[in-house]
Amino acid sequence: MPNQHTNQTHCKRGHEFIPENIYTDKRGSRYCKECQKAYRQSPEAKESREKFRVSSEGRTYRSIWTAKNRKRVRAQNNLGNAKLKMEVLSHYSVGGTLGCCWEGCIVTDVDMLTLDHINDDGFKHILPGKRQRLSGIALHTWARINAFPEGFQTLCANHNLKKRINKARADRKQ
C-alpha cells in the first residue's frame, strides 16, 4: 500500500516509519517493508506466486492451480459469462435495453432470453475450420470479438419457439 501521508510516523498496521523500514518507489510512494514482508509470507501471495510460476520447461503452474481451485474458477467464469450474455443480449435488444424484440413482448428476464439469428443463417457464423453452429457462450464471445455484427436479435424462449413454428408453417405452404 503506497502511503500518501509522508508525515506519518507509523504505517496503518502500526509499524514504525524508520528509514530502515521504508521503501520509496520511483513515483515517490512510500511502502512499509514490514507489511510487504508480511504480505509475501501470506497464503494469498504464496497462491499468486504459485499460479504464475513457470517451470524450467516453460510450463506454467496455472493449470495445477486451476485444478486445485476448480470451484472458484468455475464461479469466476460463470460470473464473466453472465456479464457477457447481459452485454451481448442488451446490444441486440431494442434501443440497447435488455428485452425480447418480438413486438408487444415484455420479457426482460435475462435467463429467458436468447440470441436469435434473424434470417436463420446461423451456419454463416462458424469458426474457421469448424462446421458447427455457434451458440451460447461461444456465440456471445464471437459477437463481441467481431464488434456486434448485424443479423441478430434478442428473443425470449417462447418467441424463439413461435418463430420456428411460423417458419415451419410457411415452409409447409410452399
Q: Which residues bind Zn ion (CB under 5 A)?
A: 11, 13, 15, 32, 34-35, 100, 102, 105, 107, 156, 159
Q: Contact at 8 Å (CB) between 64 and 57?
A: no
Rounded least distance, CB 163 to Zn ion, Å: 10
Residue with smaller CB distance to Zn ion, 11 or 115: 11
Q: H or E element: which one contains 23?
A: strand 22-24
Q: Which of 110, 120, 108, 116 is nearest to 84 (CA)?
A: 110
Q: How far is the CB of 101 from Zn ion (least distance, A)?
A: 8
Comparison of 32 and 89: residue with beta carbon closer to Zn ion: 32
The C-alpha atoms of residue 146 and residue 5 are separated, in whole angstroms, by: 47
> Is the Cβ of residue 15 or residue 51 nearer to Zn ion in the bound state?
15
Shortest separation between residue 70's beta carbon and Zn ion, angstroms: 35
Cell of 167: 417458419
CB nearer Zn ion, residue 15 or residue 117: 15
| Residue 116 DSSP SS3 | strand
